[in-house]
A = this chain, B = another copy of it.
Amino acid sequence: MFTLDRHPSGRHFLQIPGPTNVPDRVLRAIDRPTIDHRGPEFGDLGRAVLSDIKQVFQTEAPVVIYPSSGTGAWEAALVNTLSPGDRVLMVETGHFSGLWCRLAGRLGLEVELIEGDWRHGADPARVRASLEADAARRIRAVCVVHNETATGVVSDIAAMRAALDAAGHPALLMVDAISSLGAIDYRHDEWGVDVTVAGSQKGLMLPPGLSFNAIGPRALAAADTARLPRSYWDWREMLGPNRNGYFPYTPATNLLYGLHEALSMLREEGLPSVFARHRRHAAATRAAVAAWGLELVCLAPQGHSPALTAVLMPGRQGADALRRTILERYDMSLGQGLGRLADQAFRIGHLGHFNDLTLCGTLAGVEMGLAAAGVPHQPGGVQAAMARLASEPAPAAFY
């Protein structure tokens, strides 16, 4: 039987790479009474979040907010800009890029896939080559995942933009920033992204239930001619009412309260500090993994994710048993290996509302779990992480 109220003593460590630990401030904000979504108070709320969210995307472009999971925002990016039979170039970086491919196919798009080994980010040279080979300009969009949540590998989006430019190809650049937004430096405008896809439950520190499209001007123009059927996801329906802070259908008001609060928190900490914090925690986590003698999924020197760390099991098996042991003994949830990494890897989320001591507790849980599950490793990971943290002190706290 499910009950909301049975847990072992102490606070659960939710260290999957999203949903992340929701701050009490955000939970309390969500706990307010719902208001009239057509009244003046809602208009104030709507205008505030629709304006402030742009800062997190580092954009001046409009950002639409859907009551949906991030998967919905993927669909929205495609149906608003493309027509049946259009070709999209997708770069395989891991499980989530694969899901996006599958989604595109189901919507009636033709997918050209640049295969990958799930251990490196997207290769701009191969994208450029594919685009240059597309003499007929049949490719209408290039889709890349910024931070592949399944592998902990970051792709260089600025380089991707440069590849399109070098190829002189007019395809739209669409980027999944679901697990990077609010955790890793992401620049919609500067990088010339046409559509950015994001969700609420990662760096934005919200529960799941909201998703986002940041929409550059070329994408907006494409929406005028795109012929994939759409209604719920239609940007044009959104952008009109959004101008006054309203929505064309009932928005997820209470999650918007939470968004308002989360955006305040990010602003108070400052985005550069937020990004530095994630990099620092990721470096400490990698120091622990190295001390344990375990292997990272990520092989790209520049691609290590500040948001999560995916770790290969010795012998490439037993990750699920390890995770079960850690959950049962230490009340911590870790991310599972997905797709071809099933049972081969586990993932440590260190993004969102997080700090040094929670990271140390997290790594202690992994280290004790490795021992309890009989996984070959060296002890000393927590010690190494502590040394790494101490070598680069966190910025002064608010106190």
- On A, residues with C-beta under 8 Å from B are 1-2, 4-14, 16, 18-22, 24-25, 27-41, 44-45, 47-48, 66-72, 75, 84, 102-103, 106-108, 199, 201, 207-209, 228-232, 234, 248-255, 257, 260-261, 264-265, 268-269, 274, 277, 327-333, 336, 353-362, 364-365, 367-368, 371-372, 379-380, 382-383, 386, 389-390, 393-394, 396-399
Contacts and interface: CB of A to CB of B under 8 A. Distances in A.
Given A2-B48, A40-B399, A399-B41, A31 B33 contact: no
Given A8-B269, A10-B358, A68-B68, 14 more contacts: A12-B35, A18-B250, A21-B34, A36-B333, A67-B69, A69-B249, A103-B231, A106-B234, A107-B230, A201-B250, A209-B254, A330-B394, A364-B382, A382-B383
Task: Name the residue among A10, A16, A354 with the largest chain B CB count within 10 angstroms.
Answer: A10
A43 to B, nearest CB: 9
Contacts of A29: 4
23 contacts: A2-B47, A8-B269, A8-B399, A13-B357, A19-B250, A19-B253, A20-B34, A28-B31, A40-B399, A107-B230, A209-B254, A228-B229, A329-B356, A331-B357, A356-B364, A357-B362, A360-B365, A361-B361, A364-B382, A368-B389, A371-B390, A372-B390, A372-B393
A201 B35 CA distance: 11
Given A31-B27, A251-B69, A386-B382, A353 B9 contact: yes
Contacts of A12: 33, 35
A191 to B, nearest CB: 25
Contacts of A70: 249-250
A66 B72 CA distance: 10
Contacts of A268: 6
B6 A32 contact: no
A33 B6 CA distance: 13
List 4 tightest A-B contacts by C-beta distance, closest first: A10-B355, A361-B361, A360-B364, A209-B252
Contacts of A24: 32-33
B397 A39 contact: no
Nearest to A364: B360
A33 B33 CA distance: 14
Contacts of A11: 11, 21, 353, 355, 358
A268 B3 CA distance: 13
Contact of A207 (B16, B34, B72): B34
A111 to B, nearest CB: 13
Contacts of A8: 269, 355, 397-399
A399 B260 CA distance: 19
A360 B366 CA distance: 12
Nearest to A207: B254
A232 B75 contact: yes
B35 A354 contact: no
Contact of A398 (B6, B260, B265, B362): B6
A37 B372 contact: no
Nearest to A237: B106
A397 B331 contact: yes
> Which of A6, A40, A396 counts the most B-chain CB atoms under 10 A from its CB?
A6
Given A30-B31, A231-B107, A358 B361 contact: yes
B371 A355 contact: no
Contacts of A354: 9-10
Contacts of A382: 360, 364, 382-383, 386
Nearest to A248: B71
A70 B252 CA distance: 11
A355 B9 contact: yes
A102 B236 CA distance: 14
